[in-house]
Amino acid sequence: MKTAWLILAPGVTMPGMNDAASHDNPLDKATMTDNVNDDPFLWLEEISGTRSLDWVKQQNAVTTKQFVDNAEFARTRDSILEVLDSDARIPYVQRMGNELYNFWRDKTYPRGIWRRTTLEEYRKAEPKWEVLLDIDALNEAEGKRWVFKEVECLKPDYERCLISLSPDGGDATVVREFSIPHKAFVEGGFELPVAKSEVRWIDRDTVYVGTDFGPGSMTRSSYPRIVKEWKRGTPLSTARTIHEGKPSDLAVSAWHDHTPGHERDFVSVAGDFFHSELYQRSGDQLTRVDVPTDAHAEAHREWLLVQTRSPWTVDGTTYPSGALLATPFDDFMAGGRRIVVLFQPDAHTSLDSFAWTRHHLILNLMDDVKSRLEVLTPPQIAAADGDWKRESLPGAPAMSTIHVVDTDPDHDDEYWLDVGGFLAPSSLERGVLGSAPAERIKQEPAFFDASGFTVSQHFVHSKDGTRVPYFEIAPNDLRLDGSHRTLLYGYGGFEVSLQPHYSGSIGRAWLERGGVYVIANIRGGGEYGPAWHQAALKANRPRAYEDFAAVAEDLIRRGVTSARHLGAEGGSNGGLLVGNMLTDYPQLFGAIACEVPLLDMKRYTHLSAGASWMAEYGDPDTADWDFIRTFSPYQNVKNDGHYPPVLFYTATSDDRVGPVQARKMAAKMQSMSLPDVWFYENLEGGHGAGADNRQSAHMHAMAYDFLWNQLK
């Protein structure tokens, strides 16, 4: 259920100088509000209430007047929008059969078009595209404001697709069947009303569906609890139940593996983000794939791959956390335990991801958060004691990130790579393993002059002695005199890694102004595998904040910046991160941008999809509150606190984290007469806070201008 993660595009957050008193005892427990009935801002939890929206409109007007209604903001917004709308951007593609598919937004198509072309055309500087669906035209015809979310097409012909459209950019969508040959929605086809649904093809006339079937059919986390098999032409109410989870589960889903010769059906019951049970379905029987519940298991052709999150002992052999293992699928399901290790982590190296081609497996590894690819070739016969051939896949520049964008494992060994770094615009490369080496197909232009900047990686020891890396992008002639406006970004949660990435928006809105940009690879992320994430779970969550503070302190110690010139930015879980910087490390920062954040950790499980994150933070309705309260900014902000200027921004349509936490935090701080507390709420855009490029440019420009001006 990665769609439910607290993820935004990479940005930056920063902590501050070490204050022993605040580190050892960061909270004055007497100031904390434990009783919900003592919360005077519960009324702001009514997302669409008249009183709430009137407050939002008033706040937006004040913030707009202060930060938006000026020429500087217009220049920043337009500069970012030029990047987002540029026709020179890479149109990333997904192969389906003989065609390459792409979803594209620009100035002409603000809500976007779904289109396709051939490889021959795609190689050209200006390929010809066949437009399949124009979202702006659809909106005009239907009087809606649809936001395109995702598409699921039926193999192997790829003629019928299930398209998900959000009415406001949130996670809840309508699902409508679409015919590619007719370039139209199918009259009387599969269709679902707005809900957090998951629909997967079984065959042309049958789908697996998890959706809101009525009261009790969704989990406490707001995702499907029941998965059913639905036949074409029959009412949804008659769909046959395949499996029901518990209300306390995260979600239940099912899918059909269409791989020729290896057709199989699976059901997954996710207890939380990091624990699930996988079942093979045969008729009405579900047989569990007997791997640890915290492991990720994936079947492909003859093989079952298992990625461990904790040590797993099998027949007297213990496999470490973060390993990737292979075993013959049918043999494993029959009780065999012949396992081969494909990857084993060390102190510097972890597995980021893997992708199958027809005959090979590509591993994407991280060496101290920098990418490296390996290609593994399994034995021709699925025997675990056979040798897997291993070789490197060259081509990664220094301080870069490589992602496998797409493969077509049912048919051939084609692979597509995205290669880029902080100062190197992304390139899209295509190769065929065992045949054609990777060749550059598309190159993104440089949206800013990178010649004046240098990327460096640094390491600092956190409070408990842990070595924490961070990347710094700074002018070549950087004087270590503490004068530079520096923006620190972090995330630190859900095993999400922040890797080198190219951003024309950051380049234009921050670096070209003379700023320094820093990304902190703090615990809670996945930079060093599951153990790096688990080190900041639940009661250990403050380790992530100590790491962030250690990076901030190191930047100040080295003379890169000073506290009054240091800004922190973070969104979602990163918003919780910078919220804790605000309340526990205010002396380290000159300004903070807190975006679509969690902040009220006493109430978070009762707001939007918050119950889905208890494996990360704990359950505040239990004794867990004893440790959760130590990192809940809403409870920990004080009347007499001396806080840096802060901008909270969110979106009314965010049905993942929701807008109410940012609302309540801003309202509470303003009620304390704390100065320089600003709030802005976009109506659309969901958790990304922007339904189109112009809205995204507006929100990013507001944050960058706010931080730049406050840090002068």
Residue 553 is assigned to a structural domain of this protein = yes
632 carries an active-site annotation? no
424 and 453: one domain?
no
Residue type, 261: G
Residue type, 571: G
DSSP class of residue 111?
Answer: S
Tell me the CATH number at 482: 3.40.50.1820
Those residues of the chain that have pLDDT short of 50 are 1-33
End position of a domain, from candidates 311, 345, 379: 345
Residue 167 is assigned to a structural domain of this protein = no
497 and 646: one domain?
yes
Residue range 613-667, pLDDT digits in tens: 999 999 999 999 999 999 999 999 999 999 999 999 999 999 999 999 999 999 9
End position of a domain, from candidates 395, 417, 445: 445
Q: What is the pLDDT of residue 315?
A: 95
Catalytic one among 243, 256, 565, 687?
687
Residue 172 is assigned to a structural domain of this protein = no
Q: What is the pLDDT of residue 396?
A: 63
Q: Sign of dihedral through CA atoms 16, 22, 25, 26?
A: negative
Q: What is the pLDDT of residue 36?
A: 60
420 and 464: one domain?
no
Number of domains in the chain: 3
Q: Are 392 and 373 in contact (CB under 8 A)?
A: yes
Catalytic one among 253, 268, 350, 572?
572
- Alpha carbons 491 and 526: distance in angstroms, whole number: 11
Q: Are 575 and 597 in contact (CB under 8 A)?
A: yes
Q: What is the pLDDT of residue 3?
A: 37
- Tell me how far the alpha carbon of residue 383 is from its chain's centroid: 36
685 and 550: one domain?
yes
Q: What is the pLDDT of residue 395?
A: 65
Q: Distances in Å between the alpha carbon of 290 and those of 29, 267, 304, 344, 448?
A: 45, 13, 11, 21, 51
- What are the contacts of 575-579 at 24+ separation with CB within 8 A? 575/599, 575/657, 575/662, 576/493, 576/601, 576/631, 576/633, 577/13, 577/490, 577/491, 577/492, 577/493, 577/522, 577/544, 577/545, 577/548, 578/13, 578/14, 578/490, 579/633, 579/665
Residue 235 is assigned to a structural domain of this protein = no
Residue 298 is assigned to a structural domain of this protein = yes
- What are the contacts of 60-65 at 24+ separation with CB within 8 A? 60/679, 60/680, 60/681, 62/678, 63/647, 63/678, 63/679, 63/680, 63/702, 64/680
pTM of the full structure = 0.93
687 carries an active-site annotation? yes
Residue range 550-583, pLDDT digits in tens: 999 999 999 999 999 999 999 999 999 999 999 9
Q: What is the number of other CB atoms lying within 10 angstroms of the CB of residue 129?
A: 18
- Alpha carbons 314 and 339: distance in angstroms, whole number: 9
440 and 451: one domain?
no
457 and 437: one domain?
no
Partners of residue 251 on adjacent β-strands: 270
Q: What is the pLDDT of residue 4?
A: 38
Q: Are 236 and 209 in contact (CB under 8 A)?
A: yes
Q: What is the pLDDT of residue 25?
A: 30
Q: Are 509 and 80 in contact (CB under 8 A)?
A: yes
Range of the domain at 404: 357-445
Residue 238 is assigned to a structural domain of this protein = no
Which residue from 648, 639, 706, 709 is spatially nearest to 674, judged by alpha carbons? 639
483 and 601: one domain?
yes
Q: What is the pLDDT of residue 435?
A: 87
Q: Distances in Å between the alpha carbon of 304 and those of 52, 296, 327?
A: 51, 10, 5
546 and 674: one domain?
yes
Residue 219 is assigned to a structural domain of this protein = no
- Three-state secondary-structure class, residue 249: coil
332 and 363: one domain?
no
475 and 361: one domain?
no
Q: What is the pLDDT of residue 38?
A: 85
- Alpha carbons 577 and 573: distance in angstroms, whole number: 6
512 and 601: one domain?
yes
439 and 455: one domain?
no
Residue 362 is assigned to a structural domain of this protein = yes
End position of a domain, from candidates 445, 472, 491: 445
